Amino acid sequence: MKLGYKKIVVKVGSNVITKADGLPDEARIKHLVNQLAELKKLGIEVILVSSGAVASGRSLIKVSERQDAVSARQLLASIGQVKLINAYSNFFSEHEIKCAQVLVTKEDFRDRAHYLNMKNCLQILLTHDVIPVVNENDVVSVTELMFTDNDELAGLIASMLNADALIILSNVNGIYNGDPKEDGSQVIQEIKGSVSNLASFIQTGKSQFGRGGMVTKSTMAQKVAKLGISVHIANGTTDHVLIALLKNDLIHTHFIPEKIKSGKKKWIAHSETSAKGVVQLNEGAKNVLISGKATSLLPVGIIAIQSDFQKGDIIKIVDENNNLIGLGIAEYGSDKARERIGQKKQKALVHYDYFYAAI
């Protein structure tokens, strides 16, 4: 395959595998599985992140309108996931390939030890030629414990496994420079670095069965590409989409990757929600830290410790206007950091190897 990837994460949106009437599109699932099997046989490691549990559940049970949204989602997903994974399992077995169900929550990515346990689980599946089929555990993930959507989850998995590429399959050909339904709109084929006006092209509405929409896809894609992983957004309802994409023969959106970051930096990058403390910097320290040079965060540039943390915690680093600059692992706790505010020749609070610049 022209793009030469050895390990890919493929995320399939609900819309790709759900028909207009809400029923699961088994022919589409089968066609995707056939392509994944073909890639696997070429020696490419494949991890699938598939949405569709809630949509599948809708085809099996009618939820009373009096039911609250959280309970309805729990009911639909718990029933629907069984149907979804059965479809994958049956179609993969036609190729003599085993797949595994991996259901995760946001909590699984918070603590470093827990994160490494999960990484180990996925790796053991891959070394035994099993295709992990990952989805959010919708039964226990409610409200603030939820991922924004499965695009966020797929970004985390691609970072965790140091994948070469993340392929997001939705029901549009890519990110358009206007409303995808309008004739004049065209697919933006290449996105490099942070494009500040990207969000302005994107309509906030979602497709019929989707959760996060294109805004979260593009934010996540830029972040993952910054960590050194290629991200592709393509149309999963196009026949042979994966094969055409990997042959570099498909119109879609490609986020060009930056230099590969270490595994630990990738984890830090996705840990904003579990950050414990907040440290504020002056303008000079901010400019040095985001310059891309290998510089650690020294107390001389700190102007305030806004909330407490301990040695080893992930901390948020903000500028004078409280905008997020980056995330890092604290080399010592907030008590010592407070004593050293503004002082020269003090030990770095965050070492460069454990700092991720968010801008």
Ligand X SMILES: Nc1ncnc2c1ncn2[C@@H]1O[C@H](COP(=O)(O)OP(=O)(O)O)[C@@H](O)[C@H]1O
Ligand Y SMILES: N[C@@H](CCC(=O)OP(=O)(O)O)C(=O)O
Binding-site residues for substrate sit at 51, 138, 150
Q: Is 210 in the site for ligand X (CB under 6 A)?
A: yes
Instruction: Pick between residue 220 and residue 330 the one whose CB is nearest to ligand Y.
Output: 220
Report the phi/psi class of residue 96: left, alpha or beta, with left for phi > 0 and alpha for psi in -120 to 50.
left
171 binds ligand X (CB under 6 A): yes
Q: How many CA atoms lie within 13 A of 201 on its CB side?
A: 20
Map the footprint of ligand X across residues 3-22, applying CB under 6 A.
13-15
Q: Give the separation between CA 78 and CA 76, rounded to whole angstroms.
A: 6
Answer yes or no whether residue 137 interacts with ligand X by CB under 6 A: no
Percentages of the chain per state (helix, strand, coil), in multiples of 5? 35, 20, 40
Task: Work out whether 207 is an interface residue with ligand X (CB under 6 A).
Answer: yes
Nearer to ligand Y, 8 or 55 (CB): 55
Tell me the two tokens of residue 216.
């979260």
Contacts of 207 (CB under 8 A, 6+ apart): 13, 15, 170, 171, 172, 213
- 253 touches which of ligand Y, ligand X, none (CB within 5 to 8 A by kind)? none
Q: How far apart are CA 36 and CA 240, in angstroms?
A: 10
Residues lying near ligand Y in the complex (CB under 6 A) are found at 13-14, 51-55, 77, 135-136, 138, 149-150, 210-212
| 213 contributes a contact to ligand X by CB under 6 A | yes
Task: Show contacts with ligand X in window 175-194 (CB under 6 A).
Answer: 175-176, 180
Nearer to ligand X, 150 or 271 (CB): 150
CB of 358 to ligand Y, least distance (A): 23
| Contact yes or no for 324/316 (Cβ under 8 A) | yes
Q: Give 66-86 as a DSSP string.
A: TS-HHHHHHHHHHHHHHHHHH
238 is a site residue for ligand X (CB under 6 A): no
Alpha carbon of residue 278 to chain centroid: 24
C-alpha 155/C-alpha 161 separation (Å) is 10
Q: Nearest approach, Cβ of 213 to ligand X (angstroms)? A: 4
Among ligand Y, ligand X, none, what binds residue 77 when CB lies within 5 to 8 Å by partner kind?
ligand Y
What minimum distance in Å lies between the beta carbon of 32 and ligand X? Answer: 13
The site map against ligand X for 61-90 (x = CB under 6 A) is ------------------------------
Which one of ligand Y, ligand X, none interacts with residue 52, CB within 5 to 8 A by kind?
Answer: ligand Y
Q: Which of 13, 24, 15, 81 is nearest to 50 (CA)?
A: 13
Binding site for ligand X (CB under 6 A): 13-15, 170-172, 175-176, 180, 201-203, 206-207, 210, 212-214
